[in-house]
Structure formats: C-alpha cells, structure tokens
Amino acid sequence: MLSCFNLKHLTAYLITLLSFSYQLCHSQDTTSVFKKTLHSIDSLVTGSLNSEGGIIPAPVFNPALGTGIAVLPVYVYQLKGVAPETNPSTSQGILYLNFTGSYLAGLKQTLYFNRNKYWLDAYAGYVSMNYNHYVQNGNIKESIWFKGFVSNVSFAFKIKDHWFLGPMFTNNYIFEKLTDRTDKTFNDIGYNWFHTPGVKLTHDSRDNIFYPETGWFSSLSYETLIHLDETEFNFDKFIFGLSNYSSIHSTKDVVLASRIFTQLGFGDLPLHEMASPGSTQILRGYITGNYLNSSIFSLQTELRWMFPNRWGFVGFVGYGWLFDEPRQFNSSISLPSIGAGVRYRIFPVFKINLGLDAAFGRDGSANVYFKLTESF
C-alpha cells in the first residue's frame, strides 16, 4: 500500500512518501511548478473510474539530508477481472537526489487479488545517504553513511474475515559507517549481506485502505537475521502496530484516527534495522535518524477534516519512548510530538490525499512532511 527508521523502512517510506520526513523548499518558481503539476495530474484523472495516476515532483529540504528533489510516478488501479470490492493495486517509483550527494532510486509494487484473499507487496532499490544522528540523549552528534541495494517481498493470504497471515523476506547488501566513531562495531564495517526472513499477522477492517473513515488496522511481525560468518550482527525484532478510525460527524467528513506503534529489538542490530522517531507512522516532529535505538514505543492521535472542495485539515499530538532492549525501558528518551497540516485530494476516486504537515518535538526539534496518503 501507499504507507521505525531502518534502511528498508526508509526506502519503502521514500518510495511511498510515508516512512521519510523532509521539508519543502519555498521558492516562488518551485511553488508555481508544483501547482501546475497538481492541475495537470488532476486533468489526467478526472472522470477516471478504474485508475488514477501521475508524476509528482517533490522539492525536499531536510536538516539531516540537505536540499534536493524527489520525482514520484504513481499509478493506482484495479486489476482486470477482479471483483469490485477488491482493493486497488499500486505501482510506484522514486528518484531522489540532493546537493550533498545522497540519492535513492527504487520501485514498489502492491497487488490485491480475488476479493482481497491474497496480496503481494514488494520493493527494490539502491540508496546512498549521508546524514547526522544524535546519541546519549542528544548530547553527541554523529555522521552516518549508508549505501547499497535493498529489497523486500511479503505475501499474505486470508485465514478468516479481516485476518491475514504470510511470510516476508528482506535482502539488503549494505555498507554502513559512523564516520565520527572509533567503535569498530559500526565504524567502516564494509559491505555485508543481511538476509532477514519473517512472518506477519494482519487484521484489517478499514472501509478504505488510503483514507479510512471507520475500522481497525493492526499488524504483528517477527523478523530474525540469518547469521553469517562475515558479519558480527545477530538480532530478533518484533514490530506491532494498531490503528483505529472513527467518524465523529454524520457526513463522515471529520475522522478521529489513533495509532500505537512499537518495535522491540533484541541482540546486536545494525544501524539500518534500528528504530527512530521522525517517520510519520511512528512519531512526527523529528528528523528521521537523529535519534536511533533498538526499540521504540509511540502513540499518536489525529483529527482529520475534509472539505467538499477536496481540501482538508489535520491536527495531531503524540508521545513516544526510545530505548534499547525492553528491560532497559527505564533509561528511555521521552519524545513528545504536536503539529498540524493540510490535505488536497489529488486522486478523488480512491480517496488519496497529498499532505503537508508541520510537527514539533523535544528540545526545539521540528520538521515538515510532504507525502502521499495519510500518516497512518
């Protein structure tokens, strides 16, 4: 679907504009181009009943990454021959470049079959990123460098009404380096393969996968690293998410959405598997990657209000705790979050919104998020 910082979630999030946070450039020329693009896409999809799509340019400024541009082709459609109640499938791409030399290129595909009895989600890409993060409660800043190939495939099948179960498998070939640290565990470990199989249990009773107005969505996954002799990392990871959506107005134009998210990491996690606030699904108001640790627990509540002319407004609050293994929760970092944003229904047939959020966190942290679809 269009939807814990780790490198695979970073890539998926950038590909889907959900996952990676960044700020818009504010030049007059950029705004003009962006408006023209919106109008062009809108003219392409008006009257479409079975598919919607377009190419979205996204100017990017992120204090951790720098200024750049992302180009995102998106196509949403129903597979031929499926029942009308089958969820729409999506084909997406991402090309991201910035002035500091970071870049990302990738593809993501989500397919729904046979009245949602089966679905397949896969992505693959190449990433090279340089940015900063903070350790010891934000007292020390370090520079991180990632590069390499990332991929993931997951499959789920329906086991009963609203319940799905299936395997998942991640393959990453990654070089990662903390350029300011003398700890050889992370400093220039070279390229390594990370093979991470897992399994996911999902419950989905939402009335719409892109803009739910009622229902629940939850998932519980377990992943474990296949230990190889050439790498010293070895870990297990549990991820749980629970979201609820309730209409609080008779016309369903006002929705209250809430989400709980937690990642519990055990063992020695590489940097790209660690959790971090900043991703919209976890906690907004932070630069993704500035705070990293093995585990996180967060809560968010958001009020969504859509107007008849495609525009909307959101306001949200949240709180989280970042820590190492669960037994060390007492030494966690507290992470408050508050913010607001606007929405434009760019693809009305499937209720897909283009969003711009401003959020604020602890110690003056702030970030702006430009994204396709809702935060959760």
Count of domains observed in the chain:
1
Q: Nearest CA to 84 among 136, 38, 49? A: 49
| 1 inside domain | no
Cα pseudo-dihedral 64, 152, 56, 113, rounded to 10: -150
- Host domain of residue 157: 7-372
pTM, whole model, 2 decimals? 0.77
Q: What is the pLDDT of residue 63?
A: 60
| 133 inside domain | yes
| 368 inside domain | yes
Per-residue burial over 3-26, b if 16 or more Cβ lie within 10 Å, else e, is: bbbbbbbbbbbbbbbbbbbbbbbe
Per DSSP, what are the bridge partners of residue 86? none
Q: What is the pLDDT of residue 271?
A: 78
| Residue 353: strand, helix, or coil | strand
Q: What is the pLDDT of residue 286?
A: 83
Contact between residue 334 and residue 293 where contact means Cβ atoms under 8 Å apart: no
H/E run at residue 12: helix 7-16
Provide block-wise average pLDDT over 10 residues at a time, the chain (376 residues): 42 38 33 40 39 78 69 87 87 87 91 91 90 58 81 94 95 77 50 91 93 95 86 88 92 92 91 81 80 90 93 96 80 90 90 90 84 85
CATH number at residue 298: 2.40.160.50
Q: What is the pLDDT of residue 44?
A: 33
Find where tokens 């995102």 sit. Answer: 72
Structure tokens at 287: 């630069």
| 2 inside domain | no
Q: Nearest CA to 283 among 256, 265, 263, 267? A: 263
| 224 inside domain | yes
Structure tokens at 296: 């996180």
Backbone angle region of 198, left / alpha / beta, with phi > 0 → left and psi within -120 to 50 → alpha: beta
Q: What is the pLDDT of residue 368?
A: 83
H/E run at residue 57: strand 51-62
Q: Nearest CA to 255 among 264, 263, 243, 246? A: 246
- Cα 174 from Cα 6, distance rounded (Å): 12
- Cα 235 from Cα 223, distance rounded (Å): 8
| 115 inside domain | yes
| 151 inside domain | yes
Q: What is the pLDDT of residue 15?
A: 39
Contact between residue 106 and residue 15 where contact means Cβ atoms under 8 Å apart: yes
Per-residue burial over 68-98, b if 16 or more Cβ lie within 10 Å, else e, is: bebebebebebeeebeeebbbbbebbbebeb
